[in-house]
């Protein structure tokens, strides 16, 4: 059991460009932290730095109170589950799980006990004598998990462990890893490019892009209050719609004007936007905050807009509409009873309470503190 | 409704077709492949003819061998004999030569594999300065002709004779010097050195192809480089090591030149050397050569078939693919 601290960690490869840049993060004990970002965002590199599989260029990493910069991977008290599972193909499942313990000279009886226990938790008792090639993808994934569990490490590391599973198994395993986290009560650090995995499993999410932390927060916070355009566009599926707009004054109140539509803003948002009067802003609206006019939920304060339907995607419980207005495409997630067909015009309602506004130059959300400041604060409060 | 299983439907379709159509299809398939089969079998036969000729001749009467072609052996009169083999094996020192060949070949092969495997692991997976440069130099040695090195190495060995002289001039049981010319250890080292560039090249490429995740996983599990080498790399590289073992074994077993230079003493001569001497001392009696060739081929064949079971396809299956 231990927390993890990254203190101003930077990793530069031979090319000179930093893969991870000034990375500050405090992971408390027992947290399920998910690092999420597109490929090349540095999330895997951050994990590999923690595992000791890459050398740190600058900065310090602590596991618990222990500085691990110069400690070899095997002595860091961590276990890692690889995307490829990395099972030893010539060993049986039992030997795969026992390998790490054998090398550490754990008594045979103890090994048998621990492997048996892990196999029971994962439901793979019947597979212990098989070789990896005789296992299905899901079973191999469990063996890889089991190999980490028997080690009883202070921190579990996961590098996209579900990417090679089919969709159904992925959902199932997701829930099982969450259960495992509750059961083991250990720190989990999990890397994925899949924001659904991040949202569903994490107690906290770190969104990364181009080697830097974009935002740290609990899943709902990232969804409701994305700190910048990148996080806003990355979290949520389908992605948020973005429009170029200008802040104008209309009948005494502020409004955002975009392509001939005026969306009045009120309350907190109005205060935040007051300094942007007459300036350009980027407006973000999530597809689920655009409703079909005839099926708008009660109590929504909205503006009605007319748009042409280009494509419809029916998912049964909802329908995704690709709408076009004045040459600008945007998506709406509407009630399946809407009955929209490609080519027709439809009236939609934009929920004015759920508008996101960003500074088009910096990309930062208007009215939220910048990401780095928040991370800085955290490291100061929790640094060992 | 569940979507129909595509394989189930196609099976049903096959069953539903009349038998005549099925046979017709099988014939057409066979006819389509016939040219391929004929040419493959033809090529195999063509390549085998010299060996078969050699084999047949080795059992023929010496008189017949010199007067008629080997293909006449299948006609009347059938007269096969073991005389040739008897003559060859009765020669002075042939049994000793066989033993010498083993004494030279087995250590030379094992030593090459051992050194090459260590080197290949380092070149493939360990980080050290000038790694790629050193590997290039190693591979570059592949183009140096063996013959170029004979005189310098021989001179070196001659000077080493004095060096190791204090150990005495006869190794117990084996005979010969401890090192230098006319010593077993000397020829082991020579063969190992000549075999290493290719061996390291072959093994490094194979080791380098093993998935990186396996190594990292093993490091995290607490394995040292040596443990990774022994417990992960060696078992997974058996196909490459078996291939290398066969190559090296055949090359050393069939070698005449290196043995001729470094092991002049008839007491320590391998079979290649003894057989060559046999031919020259008997002039043109090449029927003896045929028998001797087969005696010499017997062991490599055994080695080949023994190691064949290590040529396993898909040894990495189940390791890193989902």
What is the average pLDDT value for chain B, to the nearest integer?
84
What are the boundaries of each domain within chain B? 8-83, 86-317
What does the block give as tokens for B164?
A: 């190791």
C-alpha A158/C-alpha A86 separation (Å) is 12
Does residue B4 carry a pLDDT above 70? no
Q: Do B220 and A73 touch (CB under 8 A)?
A: yes
Angle between helices B94-125 and B271-282 (to 10 degrees): 140
- In this predicted structure, what is the pLDDT of residue B32? 86
Report DSSP letters for B147-208, one per residue: HHHHHHHHHHHHHHHHHGGGG-S--TTT-SBSSSTTBHHHHHHHHHHHHHHHHHHHHHHHHH
Residue A158 forms contact with B (CB below 8 Å) = no
DSSP reduced 3-state for B144: coil
Best of A50, A78, A88, A131 to mutate (most B CBs within 10 Å, chain B) = A88
pLDDT of the residue at B3: 45
Contact B50/A at CB under 8 A = no
Name the pairing type of β-strands A319-325 and A290-292. Answer: unpaired
- Chain B CB within 8 Å of residue A104 CB: yes
Q: Does ipTM exceed 0.90?
A: no
- In Å, the largest CA–CA distance within chain A is 81
Residue B161 CA to its chain's centroid (Å): 31
The distance of B68 to chain A (nearest Cα, Å) reads 56
Distance CA B187, CA B102 (A): 12
User: Going edge to edge, which strands form the sheet with A328-334?
Assistant: A290-292, A345-351, A302-314, A319-325, A328-334
Fold of B86-317: MetI-like fold (1.10.3720)
Q: Closest residue of B to A156, CA-based?
A: B220
The three-state secondary structure class of A332 is strand
State the pLDDT at residue B13. 46
Chain B environment of A151 (Cβ under 8 Å): 221
A28 touches chain B (CB under 8 A): no
Of A82, A103, A131, the CB nearest to B213: A82
3-state helix, strand, coil in chain A (%, to 5): 35, 35, 35
Helices (H), chain B: 6-16, 19-58, 62-67, 83-90, 94-125, 131-140, 146-163, 184-208, 212-220, 225-227, 234-236, 238-253, 257-262, 271-282, 286-307
Stretch B160-184: mean pLDDT, rounded?
79
Token pair belonging to B21 = 């159509």
| H helical segments located in A52-92 | none
Tens of pLDDT along chain A (384 residues) come to: 689 999 999 999 888 788 999 999 999 999 999 999 999 899 999 999 999 999 999 999 999 999 999 999 999 999 999 999 999 999 999 999 999 999 999 999 999 999 999 999 899 999 999 999 999 988 999 999 999 999 999 999 999 999 888 888 889 889 989 999 999 999 999 999 999 999 999 999 999 999 999 999 999 999 999 999 999 999 988 999 999 999 998 877 888 988 778 888 877 788 888 888 889 999 999 999 999 988 888 888 888 999 999 999 999 899 999 999 888 899 999 998 888 889 999 999 999 888 899 999 999 998 765 444 555 555 544 444
Q: What's the DSSP call for residue A193?
A: S
Q: How confident is the model at residue B312 (pLDDT cuts 50, 70, 90)?
A: low
Q: CA-nearest residue of chain A to B215? A: A86
Angle between helices B94-125 and B184-208 (to 10 degrees): 40
Nearest alpha-carbon partner for A160 in A50, A73, A44: A44
Q: In which element (H, E) is residue A322 found?
A: strand A319-325
Chain A residues inside the 8 Å CB shell of B218 = 88, 99
Q: In terms of CA atoms, which chain A residue is nearest residue B316?
A: A89
Judge whether residue B6 has pLDDT over 50: no
Half-sphere exposure of B58 (CA within 13 A, CB side): 19
Q: What is the pLDDT of residue B282?
A: 62
Mean pLDDT of B222-237: 92
Q: How far apart are CA A257 and CA A264, in angstroms?
A: 9
* pTM of the entire predicted model: 0.80
């Amino acid at each position: 059991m231990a927390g993890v601290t990254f203190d101003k960690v930077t990793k530069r490869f031979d090319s000179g460009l930093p893969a991870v840049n000034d990375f500050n993060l405090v992971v408390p004990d027992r947290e399920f932290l998910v690092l999420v970002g597109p490929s090349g965002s540095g999330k895997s590199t951050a994990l590999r730095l923690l595992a000791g599989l890459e050398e740190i260029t600058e900065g310090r990493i602590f596991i618990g109170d222990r500085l691990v910069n110069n400690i070899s991977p095997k002595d860091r008290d961590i276990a890692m589950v690889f995307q490829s599972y990395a099972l030893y193909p010539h060993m049986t499942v039992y030997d795969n799980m026992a390998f790490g313990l054998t090398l550490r000279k754990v008594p045979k009886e103890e090994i048998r006990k621990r492997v048996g226990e892990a196999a029971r938790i994962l439901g793979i008792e019947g597979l212990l004598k098989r070789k990896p090639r005789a296992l299905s993808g899901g079973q191999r994934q469990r063996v890889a998990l089991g190999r980490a569990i028997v080690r009883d490490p202070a921190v579990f590391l996961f590098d996209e462990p579900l990417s090679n599973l089919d969709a159904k198994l992925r959902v199932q395993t997701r829930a099982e890893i969450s259960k495992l986290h509750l059961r083991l009560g250990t720190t989990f650090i999990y890397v994925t490019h899949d924001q659904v995995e991040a949202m569903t499993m994490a107690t906290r999410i770190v969104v990364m892009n181009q080697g830097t932390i974009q935002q740290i927060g609990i899943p709902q916070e990232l969804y409701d209050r994305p700190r910048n355009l990148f996080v806003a566009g990355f979290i949520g599926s389908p992605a948020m719609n973005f429009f170029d707009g200008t802040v104008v004054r209309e009948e005494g109140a502020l409004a955002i004007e975009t392509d001939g539509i005026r969306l009045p803003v009120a309350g907190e948002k109005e205060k935040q936007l007051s300094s942007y009067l007459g300036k350009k802003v980027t407006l973000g609206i999530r597809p689920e905050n655009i409703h079909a006019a005839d099926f708008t939920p009660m109590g929504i304060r909205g503006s009605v807009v007319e748009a042409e339907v280009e494509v419809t995607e029916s998912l049964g419980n909802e329908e995704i509409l690709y709408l076009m207005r004045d040459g600008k495409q945007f998506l709406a997630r509407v009630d399946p009873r809407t009955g929209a067909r490609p080519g027709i015009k439809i009236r939609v309602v934009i929920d004015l309470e759920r508008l996101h506004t960003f500074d088009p130059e910096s990309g930062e959300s208007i009215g939220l503190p910048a990401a780095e400041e928040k991370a800085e604060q955290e490291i100061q409060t929790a640094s060992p | 409704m569940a979507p129909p299983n595509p394989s189930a439907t196609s099976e049903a379709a096959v069953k539903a077709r009349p038998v005549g159509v099925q046979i017709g299809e099988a014939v057409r398939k066979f006819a389509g492949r016939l040219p391929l089969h004929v040419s493959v079998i033809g090529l195999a036969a063509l390549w085998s003819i010299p060996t078969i000729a050699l084999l047949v001749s080795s059992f023929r009467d010496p008189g017949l061998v010199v007067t008629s072609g080997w293909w006449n052996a299948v006609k009347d009169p059938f007269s096969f004999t073991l005389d040739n083999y008897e003559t060859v094996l009765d020669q002075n020192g042939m049994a000793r030569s066989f033993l010498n060949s083993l004494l030279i070949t087995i250590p030379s092969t094992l030593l090459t594999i051992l050194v090459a495997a260590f080197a290949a692991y380092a070149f493939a997976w360990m980080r050290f300065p000038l790694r790629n440069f050193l590997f290039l130099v190693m591979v570059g040695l592949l183009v140096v002709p063996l013959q170029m090195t004979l005189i310098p190495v021989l001179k070196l060995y001659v000077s080493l004779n004095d060096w190791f002289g204090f150990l005495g001039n006869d190794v117990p049981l084996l005979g010969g010097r401890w090192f230098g010319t006319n010593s077993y250890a000397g020829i082991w080292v020579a063969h190992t050195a000549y075999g290493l560039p290719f061996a390291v090249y072959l093994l490094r490429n194979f080791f380098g192809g093993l998935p990186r995740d396996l190594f990292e996983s093993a490091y995290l599990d607490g394995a040292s480089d040596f443990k990774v080498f022994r417990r992960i790399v060696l078992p997974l590289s058996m196909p490459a090591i078996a291939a290398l073992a066969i190559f090296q074994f055949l090359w050393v077993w069939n070698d005449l030149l290196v043995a001729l230079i470094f092991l002049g003493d008839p007491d320590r001569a391998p079979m290649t050397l003894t057989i060559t001497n046999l031919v020259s001392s008997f002039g043109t009696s090449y029927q003896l050569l045929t028998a001797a060739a087969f005696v010499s081929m017997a062991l490599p064949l055994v080695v080949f078939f023994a190691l064949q079971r290590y040529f396993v396809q898909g040894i990495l299956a189940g390791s890193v693919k989902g």
